[in-house]
Amino acid sequence: MNFRCPVCLFAGLQYPPRDYHICPCCGTEFGNDDAERTFEELREDWLFRGANWFFGSPPINWDPWLQLSLGGVNVKDSLFQTRVSGQRAMSSDRRKIAGSEYSPPVRLSARVA
């Protein structure tokens, strides 16, 4: 039986997302990483880092954007929120989020559906 990661929505977890098991896709350690952060916050971090496969080799034809879409996440909204959150988090980035100094979000991958 396979389980779905509540962070990246990878549907190939061998164990339920708990008891310190680690998702091979996003690298979330359940019971540790999610102790003080929501799944949505962890997803934003994963997206901001490039939505890369975490451990070993990804499945053949693996596509993180398709995976999120099939899991019910609006990928375009997620990318926008990730971009805004990333700008807020960067202390060296002095641009304002609102107003004329804000630059629109960029796509992290050409594979966005």
* Alpha carbons 112 and 50: distance in angstroms, whole number: 12
Q: Which residues of 92-109 are buried (b: 16+ CB within 10 A; e: fewer)?
A: eeeeeeeeeeeeeeeebe
Q: Of 48, 3, 50, 45, which is closest to residue 28 (Cα–Cα)?
A: 45
pTM of the complete model beyond 0.75: no
pLDDT in tens, 6-51: 999 999 999 999 999 999 999 999 999 999 999 999 998 999 888 9
> What are the tokens at 99?
């107003």
Q: Which helix (H) or strand (E) holds 80?
A: helix 75-89
